[in-house]
């Protein structure tokens, strides 16, 4: 690639290979201006664009004064961000870290050009990496390089989800191979049982944050281990355990091999917990007793748990754990039973990764206030001598990386009324009071622009499927052929799983038909989401929704958008009118999609679970009231009734109440209050600052009490 890029714009390749461009609009403008049709064709992937762009286009850009001015401005901003010492962390915690914090996660959703994520856990991890860069927090992240990623979704004519795995073309992705000092692909090694497994590493640059992705597809490894990191969330328990050993134990060894010695270690969910025991092994090998080493590791470990039901946590049979850790516990200075006991809870002998992580960390966090209470109740058995309220698990409510999820048009509106530096103060609640000053007409016009962009994106997807697959007219209707911009539009877009209750709104189908097919005040509902390939109950739910969308009785007002990913999510959270969320109570740990929607002026309609328990203030959206239903059936009946009542009596009438110029002043008033109350509180900036202030700082101060530790 280097050979064909003119010297004057030679840093295009450097810019393309740092995902900093993904949340800086002017940087994306550089690649749009270079070759816009190719930018669209590449899926907004500048590495792929540069790989395919013609030398003539590059030469023309290098000779174009307007392009050069844009390029120079962006490179100047990039250099300032990458090198500046004038950061929030430097101003507020100048002595916090002399070495980086290490963040471990099973998945990272940073941009759709790197499809190594499945859902919310990865979105959170990606947003944390970006916000760390913005705040100046030195952070390295460890995960897996999944060359087949998660799956691409296709829905068959009968509504059944089909999965296709597409091999990533490494030459066309913002990712680069890391080699050892001797030029070898293998950076580190772990043993799975008595078999050595070589580990390779790929680097993804996310602004200042380096994300290191583990790869086992090396010639040194046997075939079964070469494919170990091929796909995300393998259902087979033994392969899953192998993955988690490679991620945890191998991740620590990768960092050591690269000369990176973190002082804070942050584990995102129990999948990553073996990084804690590997660090204990290091300290024991250095001469400490097991308890001394364990206490040292606990003091510098932050653990975030996301799962509010016991069945959702990773649990492995004792025999499997024995198989892969036999010989390892001796190096910890303990016996087999002591090791296995670290993963036991409530007398159950199987090895629970969350219980293990809770026992091996000092700073333990749930992801919302409500989830904190659920988590303390769930794990009280680990602290039987204290009351539920005193269980040492706190919470840091999730937030979203504002620059990544804000629509450009909405961002321009905020710049006009909040000031040019509003993104740097996006957690400042006082700043957002100015949203109330935005004229209704301007706000509504921007919202309609976003709605039109969403509809255009839906129709383009449909057109592409039709051109390549020859789909039927009925399928085209189901994909959104009849979507209209002036109709109240509701989205239900999230992972398909039973507790999220995607079919709740269809409980009284006849009543729903009357609501959405009202000739004067119609409603359209857009569904999107994937089921896990091994989760057949949720696949049946998805099939139900799809087949209902096909029904002519709904007159094309029910739509299913296939292959939901970050790209589709951006259009949906920016362009619909209402974001619908109907989880069964106390089973949604937090949720972040509604936060992204609210940031863009989309109103929230949800059960008061997860973050909405904190976010709802009575005037910024709608809450499905809590009920004291004794059974899931009663809960479903009451919640469906509440949704219909809200639609019929509040939401639909408010949306269609317009002045003579077509402005819905009541609706725009609700939008302003939603943005004002939600945007600063549920931002990743607030979230990461809270982690730094409440966990990282505490953990770092504990190092002072550990003799010989360099902070």
- For a pLDDT cut of 90, what percent of the chain falls above it? 84
Q: Is the pLDDT of residue 709 over 70?
A: no
**Contact (Cβ atoms closer than 8 angstroms) between residue 162 and residue 151:** no
Per-residue model confidence as pLDDT tens digits over 24-46: 999 999 999 999 999 999 999 99
φ and ψ at residue 522, rounded to 5 degrees: -75, 165
The DSSP-derived string for 27-53 is: HHHHHHHH-HHHHHHTTS-HHHHHHH-
The helix/strand/coil state of 302 is strand
Residue 703: pLDDT band by 50, 70, 90 thresholds? low
The mean per-residue pLDDT over the stretch 479-504 comes to: 95
Confidence at residue 182, expressed as pLDDT on a 0 to 100 scale: 87
| pLDDT tens, position by position, 513-563 | 999 999 999 999 999 999 999 899 999 999 999 999 999 899 999 999 999
- Mean pLDDT, the chain, whole residue set: 94
Segment 443-457, tens digit of pLDDT: 999 999 999 999 999
Quickly state the pLDDT bin for 17 (edges 50, 70, 90).
Answer: very high
Closest to 528 measured CA to CA, from 490, 498, 554, 556: 490
On the question of pLDDT at 707 being above 60, the answer is no
Report the alpha-carbon distance of residue 622 to residue 282 in Å, rounded. 52
In this structure, are residues 136 and 90 in contact, taking their beta carbons and an 8 Å threshold? Answer: yes
Which residue bears the tokens 């998945």? 107
* Highest mean pLDDT of the ranges 182-191, 645-654, 700-709: 645-654
Statement: residue 705 has pLDDT above 70: no
Give the per-residue pLDDT at 1: 53
pLDDT of 233 > 80? The answer is: no
Q: Residues 567-593: what's their mean pLDDT? A: 96
- Count of beta carbons in the 10 Å neighbourhood of residue 139: 25
Whether 708 shows a pLDDT value over 60: the answer reads: no
Ordered by where they begin, the domains of the chain are 2-83 (no CATH), 88-398+690-703 (3.40.50.2000), 402-682 (3.40.50.2000)
pLDDT, tens only, 116-145: 888 889 999 999 999 999 999 999 999 999
Could you give the angle at the alpha carbon of 147 between the alpha carbons of 206 and 207, nearest 5°? 5
Pairing type for strands 264-268 and 101-104 reads parallel
Spatial separation of the C-alpha atoms in residues 600 and 574, rounded to whole Å? 5
Q: So what's the pLDDT on residue 704?
A: 52
3-state secondary structure 328-353: CHHHHCCCHHHHHHCCCECCECCEEH
Cα separation of 372 and 382, whole Å?
15
- How long is the chain? 711
| pLDDT value at residue 625 | 82
Q: Is the pLDDT of residue 209 over 50?
A: yes
Closest C-alpha to 105, from 149, 145, 141: 141
Residues 616-654 as b/e (b if ≥16 CB within 10 A, e otherwise) read beeebbbbbeeeeeeeeeebbbebbebbbebbeeebbeb
Pairing label, strands 621-624, 152-155:
unpaired
Tell which wins on pLDDT, 83 or 396.
396
Structure letter (DSSP) for residue 510: H
DSSP state of 584: P
């Amino acid at each position: 690639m280097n050979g064909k890029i003119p010297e004057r714009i030679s840093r295009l390749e450097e810019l393309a290979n740092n995902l900093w461009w993904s949340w800086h609009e002017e940087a994306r403008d550089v690649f749009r201006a270079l070759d816009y049709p190719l930018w669209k064709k590449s899926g907004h992937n500048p590495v792929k664009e540069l790989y395919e762009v013609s030398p003539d286009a590059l030469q023309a850009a290098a000779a174009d004064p307007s392009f050069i001015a844009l390029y120079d401005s962006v490179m100047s901003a990039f250099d300032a961000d990458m090198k500046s010492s004038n950061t929030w962390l430097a101003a507020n915690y100048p002595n916090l870290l002399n070495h980086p914090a290490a963040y471990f996660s099973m998945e990272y959703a940073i941009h759709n050009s790197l499809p190594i994520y499945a859902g919310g856990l990865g979105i959170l991890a990606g947003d944390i990496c970006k916000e760390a860069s913005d705040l100046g927090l030195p952070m390295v992240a460890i995960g897996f390089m999944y060359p087949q990623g998660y799956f691409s979704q296709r829905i068959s004519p009968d509504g059944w989800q089909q999965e296709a795995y597409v091999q990533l073309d490494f030459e066309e992705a913002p990712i680069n191979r890391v080699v050892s000092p001797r030029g070898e692909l293998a950076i580190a090694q772990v043993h799975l049982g008595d078999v050595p497994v070589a580990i390779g590493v790929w680097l993804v640059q996310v602004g200042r944050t380096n994300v290191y992705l583990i790869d086992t597809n090396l010639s040194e490894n046997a075939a079964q281990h070469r494919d170990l990191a091929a796909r995300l969330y393998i259902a087979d328990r033994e392969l899953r355990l192998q993955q988690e050993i490679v991620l945890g134990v191998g991740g620590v060894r990768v960092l050591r091999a690269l000369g990176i010695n973190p002082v804070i270690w942050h584990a995102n969910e129990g999948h990553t917990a073996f990084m804690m025991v590997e660090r204990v092994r290091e300290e024991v090998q250095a001469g400490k007793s097991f308890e001394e080493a364990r206490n040292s590791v606990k003091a510098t470990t932050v653990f975030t748990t996301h799962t509010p039901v016991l069945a959702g946590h990773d649990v492995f049979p004792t025999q499997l754990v024995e198989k892969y850790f036999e010989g390892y516990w001796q190096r910890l200075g303990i016996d087999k039973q002591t090791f296995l006991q670290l993963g036991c809870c409530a007398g159950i002998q199987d090895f629970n990764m969350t219980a293990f992580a809770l026992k091996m960390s000092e700073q333990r966090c749930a992801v919302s206030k409500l989830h904190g209470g659920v988590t303390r109740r769930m794990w009280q058995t680990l602290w039987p001598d204290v009351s539920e309220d005193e269980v040492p698990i706190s919470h840091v409510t999730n937030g979203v990386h504002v620059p990544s999820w804000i629509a450009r048009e909405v961002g321009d509106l905020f710049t006009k009324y909040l000031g040019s530096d509003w993104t740097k103060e996006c957690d400042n609640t006082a700043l957002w009071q100015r949203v109330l000053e935005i004229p209704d007409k301007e706000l509504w016009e921007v919202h309609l622009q976003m709605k039109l962009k969403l509809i255009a994106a839906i129709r383009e997807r449909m057109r592409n499927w039709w051109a390549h697959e020859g789909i039927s007219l009925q399928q085209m209707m189901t994909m959104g052929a009849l979507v209209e911009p002036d109709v109240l539009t509701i989205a239900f877009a999230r992972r398909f799983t039973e507790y999220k209750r995607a079919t709740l709104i269809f409980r009284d189908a006849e009543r729903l038909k009357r609501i959405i097919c009202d000739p004067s005040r119609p409603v359209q509902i857009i569904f999107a989401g994937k089921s896990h390939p091994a989760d057949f109950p949720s696949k049946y739910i998805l099939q139900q929704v799809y087949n209902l969308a096909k029904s002519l009785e709904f007159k094309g007002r029910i739509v299913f958008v296939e292959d939901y990913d970050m790209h589709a999510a951006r259009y949906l959270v920016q362009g619909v009118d209402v974001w619908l969320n109907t989880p069964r109570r106390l089973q949604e740990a937090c949720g972040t999609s509604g936060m992204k929607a609210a940031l863009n002026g989309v109103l929230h309609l949800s059960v008061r679970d997860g973050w909405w328990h904190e976010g709802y203030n009575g005037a910024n959206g709608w809450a499905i009231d809590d009920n004291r239903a004794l059974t899931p059936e009663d809960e479903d009946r009451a919640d469906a009734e509440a949704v219909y009542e809200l639609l019929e009596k509040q939401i639909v009438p408010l949306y269609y109440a317009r002045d003579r110029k077509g402005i819905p002043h009541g609706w725009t008033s609700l939008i302003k209050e939603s943005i004002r109350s939600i945007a600063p509180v549920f931002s990743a900036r607030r979230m990461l600052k809270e982690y730094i202030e409440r966990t990282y700082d505490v953990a770092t101060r504990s190092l002072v009490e550990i003799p010989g530790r360099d902070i």
